[in-house]
Structure formats: structure tokens, C-alpha cells
């Protein structure tokens, strides 16, 4: 009996020791997975208290202040990107159809003398379909199902392109919050400074009425369908 008592006591002691070791091991493991807390001020890009704006001051937007004809041309961000405006635009905006300060320097006949980028031929080309109102309904003069096109070149700036600031904008010189790592790949050797738009390149390839038309039999069969037809998406 004494022997059994000693064995029992020994087993209990061993069990207690095992439990104690496991507890200590658990505490140790718990300490290892605990990570330091992250302050709310360090979240996001602002690095300030997210509950108030009193201590948050954004970087000021610093547009170029060089006067027109004295500024340095900004390289294009990617091939055929609309050129950025490198000079001060105070007093030039907003641009209106009857009040456009840009044409004074950028019209093709004066741009070289002014050291400005000339307005391209695309801005003098009317790509809009001709049309008229019939009993209050707009009717196109061209037949889209015959793949007709209406392209007319003019000597004046087209109204569809008069609002220069819709595509061209001043460039801010402010500090970037996140570094820009974009690297453009130009399709032409002078793509950073010049557009590849060529009137013949883009208009000669447009098929008109005839055997070369992309309009299919399915298109004609679905002519009056509001959903139309996807066909082979060639047109």
C-alpha cells in the first residue's frame, strides 16, 4: 500500500509539473505572437490624427509660373498623351467658344514664331456625322449600315475641340505623396515630344460603302433591333 501511495503521489507530481511546463510554454508562445500596436496616425498617407483636420495641412499645389513663350515644354507622359501646359494660365481660363486665349499662340500659322506647339490637323477636322431635324427627330445624313463616314477638314478650329482645357492641363510641381514609378514606352523615337497622329494614317483605312464594308448580313438583319448584333466585332 505504501508503494502504491508513493506511485500515486509521484504521478500527481509529474502531472502538476507537466501542466506547469505547458502553461509556461503557452505564455512564452503567447508573448512571441503579440505584435506592437499601430497608431492611427501612421495609417494611410496623411500621418496625422484621423479625427480632426486642424493639424492636417496638405501640400500646396504649385503650378508653373513661367509666362507663355518662356516656359519649357513638358515631355508627354505616354505616346500621344495630350501635351501638358507648362506656363501660367492666369487670365486664360475658363476657355469659351468665343473667347479662347490659346489660339493666339498655338494656331499653326503663328506657333513656330511663338515657340509654341501648333494645334494639330485633327482639331481642324470634323468627324461628326451630318444630320438634320425631321419632325423634331434627329436624322443622320449618313447611313451607318452602309459604313459611310463623314470627315471634313476645315480652316477653323472645330467646336468639338475648342475647349483646350478638357484635355490639356497645367502640371503641378508639388511633392508627390507616393513616388511615381511609371515608365513610358513610346512607339516612336520622338514620342515624348511629338504625336503620331497622321491624317492619312487614320482616315485612309476607313472603309466606305462597297465590297470592303465591314457591315455583315447579321447587322442588316438586326437593323431595327434596339440591341443590335455583336457579330464578329470587326466594326
pLDDT in tens, 159-209: 888 899 999 999 887 777 788 888 888 988 899 988 887 766 666 655 444
Residues 6+ apart with CB under 8 A from 147: 207, 208, 209, 213, 214, 215, 235
pLDDT of residue 221: 73
Residues 6+ apart with CB under 8 A from 124: 153, 154, 155, 156, 157, 158
Residue 141 has pLDDT above 80, yes or no: no
pLDDT of residue 34: 64
pTM confidence score: 0.62
What band does 85 get if pLDDT is binned at 50, 70 and 90?
very high
Residue 230 has pLDDT above 50, yes or no: no
- What does the pLDDT look like over 21-44, one tens digit per residue? 555 555 555 556 666 677 777 777
In the chain, % of residues over pLDDT 90: 21
Residue 52 has pLDDT above 50, yes or no: yes
Q: Where are the domains of the chain?
A: 103-124+158-221
Residue 100 has pLDDT above 90, yes or no: yes
Distance, in Å, from the CA atom of 29 to the CA atom of 32, rounded to the nearest integer, reads 5
Q: How far apart are the first and last CA of the chain?
A: 100
Please state the rounded mean pLDDT for residues 74-81: 91
Please state the rounded mean pLDDT for residues 218-230: 62
Q: Tell which wins on pLDDT, 116 or 57.
A: 116
Please state the rounded mean pLDDT for residues 41-63: 77
Q: What is the residue whose three cell numbers read 507648362?
A: 86
Amino acid at each position: 500500500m505504501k508503494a502504491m501511495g508513493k506511485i500515486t503521489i509521484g504521478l500527481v507530481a509529474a502531472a502538476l509539473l507537466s501542466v506547469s511546463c505547458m502553461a509556461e510554454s503557452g505564455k512564452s508562445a503567447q508573448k512571441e505572437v503579440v505584435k506592437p500596436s499601430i497608431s492611427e496616425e501612421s495609417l494611410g498617407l496623411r500621418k496625422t490624427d484621423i479625427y480632426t483636420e486642424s493639424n492636417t495641412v496638405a501640400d500646396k499645389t504649385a503650378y508653373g509660373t513661367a509666362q507663355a513663350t518662356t516656359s519649357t515644354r513638358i515631355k508627354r507622359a505616354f505616346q500621344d498623351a495630350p501635351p501638358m501646359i507648362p506656363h501660367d494660365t492666369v487670365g486664360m481660363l475658363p476657355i469659351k467658344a468665343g473667347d479662347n486665349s490659346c489660339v493666339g499662340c498655338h494656331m499653326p500659322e503663328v506657333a513656330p514664331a511663338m515657340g509654341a506647339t501648333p494645334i494639330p490637323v485633327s482639331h481642324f477636322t470634323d468627324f461628326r456625322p451630318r444630320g438634320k431635324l425631321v419632325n423634331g427627330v434627329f436624322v443622320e445624313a449618313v447611313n451607318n449600315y452602309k459604313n459611310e463616314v463623314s470627315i471634313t477638314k476645315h480652316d477653323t478650329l472645330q467646336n468639338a475641340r475648342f475647349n483646350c482645357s478638357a484635355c490639356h492641363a497645367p502640371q503641378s510641381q508639388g511633392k508627390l505623396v507616393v513616388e511615381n514609378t511609371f515608365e513610358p514606352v513610346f512607339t516612336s523615337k520622338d514620342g515624348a515630344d511629338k504625336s503620331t497622329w497622321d491624317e492619312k494614317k487614320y482616315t485612309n483605312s476607313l472603309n466606305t460603302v462597297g465590297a470592303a464594308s465591314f457591315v455583315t448580313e447579321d447587322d442588316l438583319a438586326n437593323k431595327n433591333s434596339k440591341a443590335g448584333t455583336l457579330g464578329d466585332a470587326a466594326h
